Amino acid sequence: MVRLSGTGRLVRARVGRRVRRWGHAWRSSLQFRVITSTLAIGLVAFIAIGAYVGARMEEGLTAGRVEQLLEESARSTQQAQDTFDSSTADTAVEVRKLLSDVATAQSQGGSGEREVFLLRAPGATSSVSVGYAASDGSLVDLVGEDLREAAAEGGQFWQPVAWQVGDREEPAVIVGQNVTVPVVGTYQLFFLYSLQAEQDRLDFLLRTLAFAAAALVLLLGGMTWMVTRQAVRPVRRAAHVAERLADGHLEERMAVHGEDEMATLASSFNEMAASLQDQIRRMEELSALQRRFVSDVSHELRTPLTTIRMAGEVIHASRDDFDPAVKRSAELLATQLDRFEDLLADLLEISRFDAGAAVLDAESRDVRDVVLAAVEHTFALAGRRGSWLHVELPEGPTVADVDPRRVERVLRNLLVNGVEHAEGSAVEVTVGADRYAVAVTVRDHGVGMTEQEASHVFDRFWRADPARARTTGGTGLGLAISLEDAHLHGGWLEAWGRPGRGACFRLTLPRRAGIRLTDSPLPLVPDEPAAAEPVTVAAGRPATDPAALPDLSDAHAPQEVR
């Protein structure tokens, strides 16, 4: 395992931050993506074109120069052969001088600087030994054996080599051909030519091409930036205006310039914004009228309802003096009057929420006491429905800033709803808390509901099964009011259900005002824990009977109430 030094970790951190910044810019900016993609494609294209053009230029310059050198070497070789043929040298000293004179003479001819070597051909023998001749003896080793063997077979051959001149290597080419020397027989004449001039010319052309490519890439990037800026700026303005509209600034509009497609887009956007503003204004007016109508009707119904209530109570008090049919009618009248009063109370409460007039009267309370009060209120209904109320409280105090009246109303609604749909099974109430929030779940094991039904369960007057009768006489507004109460606390009210497995409602409230909830102390989806030893109390006991309440001295233990 290799450990990075402090400098290595710092470099890696900087590279990571830069990569993340580039990644964020790539994801968040269309203009950045277009410019980067265009530059990358342009750079790859210019590199490919530059490589092809450079190869073609190098091939053209080298091939042309080599062809010229081959022709020049052939003429020089023929001149040397003519010199050898016309020579009268017949001794070793004369032949050695002849070779030296030819090498010196040929090195000074031609179209440029060159070196000349006269070497005995491989396999050639002679009774006279004169050695070799060269214009620069230190360069004889540049002549390779493969070139000498090829030239020995006859004809003209050449080979590229690297010529070390001072501190640098220059490209060069060696051209060789056989010649016949008097007395000593077959020799090989080699010419060494430098191609540095062609290489310098090629480097200049490549530098010029690279500079032109870089300039074109920058020009392409600048053009792309200008074009994308013209296209993206209206889109950004539209996004900004759309955000302002979403924030409630319905008067915000886009500026219209010119008559092009962007101007058409701005005009269409402004028309859409104006239409939305008009529709929202009309809906607000209609909603205000509806809220005022509900509030006014609810208040106006109070007076006749009070009169009817007084008359109904008189009739209900004398019901024993009536025949059975009239007696039953008096009882039904009293029951429906009670339901009518509940409906009016709920309508008035909903109208307060709609008008923004609901006020939270918060105080520091132990939520366990509020839960037990709501459970006590539901004893009678649970007894009539044959359901068990299983209450599980935490060990220590669960204090939070809540409005006890509203929280107890939420819990009563959840408990009544759970008992009504439990089909005689147990209803479990669990309280949990952490540092930031307190939560209460109400779980039943009745008919349950689907995910789609769970998403509508808090809608006003909504029923999962419209044909199902309300056995407890509910108004259809209880869960809607409970949701508003939870929101008024800055909390959540959520529902889960599965057909045949029951349902679970979770109320989550912040322990202090201003805390923004991110999680709940209790899970919404139940994990079906093992049953605990129940502590039961008969549902028929009066609410004032102390035996009907769980013992708070052991409040952390699971408690069950029937």
What pLDDT does 546 receive? 33
Q: What is the DSSP letter of 42?
A: H
Q: Distances from the Cα of 4 to the Cαs of 27, 279, 345, in angstroms?
A: 31, 63, 71
Residues 6 or more apart in contact with residue 305 via CB below 8 angstroms: 337, 340, 341, 344
What pLDDT does 45 receive? 85
* Domain spanning 253-358, CATH class: mainly alpha
What pLDDT does 494 receive? 92
| Structure tokens, 77 | 């070789």
| 90-197: CATH number | 3.30.450
Residues 30 and 51: their CA atoms lie apart, in Å, by 31
What pLDDT does 5 receive? 57
Cite the residue boundaries of each domain of the chain with CATH code 3.30.565.10: 363-561
Cite the residue boundaries of each domain of the chain with CATH code 3.30.450: 90-197
| Interior angle at CA 391, CA 390 and CA 392, nearest 5 | 125
Q: Distances from the Cα of 205 to the Cαs of 139, 154, 248, 518, in angstroms?
A: 30, 38, 63, 65
Q: What is the pTM of this model?
A: 0.46
What pLDDT does 10 receive? 76
What pLDDT does 531 receive? 40
User: What CATH superfamily is the domain 363-561?
Assistant: Histidine kinase-like ATPase, C-terminal domain (3.30.565.10)
Q: What is the mean pLDDT of each run of 10 residues along the chain (562 residues)?
A: 61 78 74 80 84 82 85 89 87 86 81 82 78 86 88 88 85 91 88 86 86 86 82 80 82 80 82 86 79 71 78 81 83 80 73 72 90 90 87 90 90 90 88 92 89 83 58 66 88 90 92 87 76 33 34 35 32
Helices (H), 247-359: 261-317, 324-354
What pLDDT does 9 receive? 73
